[in-house]
Every structure is written in C-alpha cells, then in structure tokens.
C-alpha cells in the first residue's frame, strides 16, 4: 500500500492535497503533528510507508486534517478547484504544444504498471517489498494518467452522493 492510500484512509483531505499542488503544505501539517523535523513529502512518506504508526500518531494525523481544513477555509482555498485547474492547465498546454511527451510517458507508465502486476502474479516475488512499493506508485500514476486523458469521476461521485442523500418523491 502506498503512502497516499494510507493517508487518504486516515485523513482524506490531506491525502488529496499531498498528491496535488498543495503537497508541500499538507506534508508540513502532517510533519508538525508527527514530530518529523524535515517537513517534506519525502520525510512524511517514509514515516507513513513504515506501517508502524502508533495510535497517538494516528490521532495526530486526524488532528492535522482538522487544522488543514481550517487553514483552507481561512485562506479561502478550494482544494477541488486547485486540482481541477492543475489538470486543466496540463491539458491546455498539451493542446497548445502538441507535445509527444505526455502520451509517451503515459504509455511507459501503463506498460510498467501492468508489466509489474503480471510479473508479480506469475512469479515467486509477490511479497517483494520493493515491487509492492513500485506497484503502488505506478498504480497511483496510472490513475492520474486515466484522469488526465479521460477526465475525473469527481462529478459522478458527487452525483452519487447527492442521490444517496436525497429524499425520494412519491407521485
């Protein structure tokens, strides 16, 4: 399991922010609460990937989530809009430059992800820690690639949430 999945399970907003343009700020909030001196995504990643969070650290990550929400509200930062703008600007750049790099990188990551997955399913190295970390990272990158090329399912998730909380009408 990669660190983004771990943090999204504990603190969804911080997990989303770590993977987006506010990654450094989110890492700083987590580092403060976990007592990590170096307030970088890498330092936070190392702690979260260790799989050895104490109950107190889990509580502190949840407290960091609350403080991060307050920070976003105080500064009028819309995380969903930032992530949408980030993807939109990348798409706009692709339209303007017609670069071959995004498509090539997408193909390399897709081949790598499914190649590692297939290798792990057919070999004895299934529990190899480095392969599991690589698979998690490539899986996260592959989801971002699908989002880039085909769009986000955020609107669909919001619609499902609205339908679930709505009151049925009777005729």
How does pLDDT run across 60-114, given as a tens digit for each residue?
A: 888 888 888 888 777 777 766 666 666 677 777 877 888 888 889 999 999 999 9
Instruction: Answer whether 17's CB lies under 8 Å from 78's CB.
Output: no
Q: Summarize the confidence of residues 118-136 as an average pLDDT.
A: 80
How large is the angle between the packed helices 41-49 and 3-10, nearest 10 degrees?
Answer: 80
Highest mean pLDDT (candidates 23-27, 59-63, 110-114, 162-166):
110-114
The phi-psi region of residue 116 (left if phi > 0; otherwise alpha if psi is between -120 and 50; otherwise beta) is alpha
Q: Using the predicted structure, report yes or no on whether residue 160 has a pLDDT greater than 60.
A: no
CA–CA gap between residue 81 and residue 101 (Å, rounded): 25
Instruction: Answer whether 60's CB lies under 8 Å from 32's CB.
Output: no
User: Residue 128 corresponds to which tokens in the numbers above?
Assistant: 């190899």
Considering the entire predicted model, what is its pTM?
Answer: 0.46
Q: Using the predicted structure, report yes or no on whether residue 29 has a pLDDT greater than 80.
A: yes
| CA dist 134 → 42, 82, 91, 128, 141 (Å) | 15, 27, 26, 10, 10
Tracing tokens 């592959």 back to the chain, one arrives at 142
């Amino acid at each position: 399991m990669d660190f983004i999945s771990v943090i999204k399970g504990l603190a969804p907003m911080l997990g989303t922010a770590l993977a987006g343009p506010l990654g450094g700020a989110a890492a700083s909030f987590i580092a403060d609460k976990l007592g990590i001196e170096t307030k970088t995504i890498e330092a936070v990643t190392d702690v979260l990937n260790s799989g050895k969070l104490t109950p107190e650290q889990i509580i502190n990550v949840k407290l960091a989530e609350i403080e991060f929400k307050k920070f976003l509200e105080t500064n009028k930062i819309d995380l969903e809009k930032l992530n949408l703008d980030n993807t939109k600007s990348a798409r706009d750049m692709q339209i303007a430059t017609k670069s071959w790099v995004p498509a090539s990188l997408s193909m390399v990551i897709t081949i790598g992800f499914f190649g590692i997955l297939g290798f792990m399913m057919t070999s004895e190295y299934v529990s190899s820690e480095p392969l599991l970390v690589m698979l998690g990272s490539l899986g996260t990158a592959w989801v971002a690639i699908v989002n880039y090329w085909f769009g986000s399912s955020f609107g669909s998730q919001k619609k499902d949430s609205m339908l679930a909380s709505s009151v049925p009408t009777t005729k």
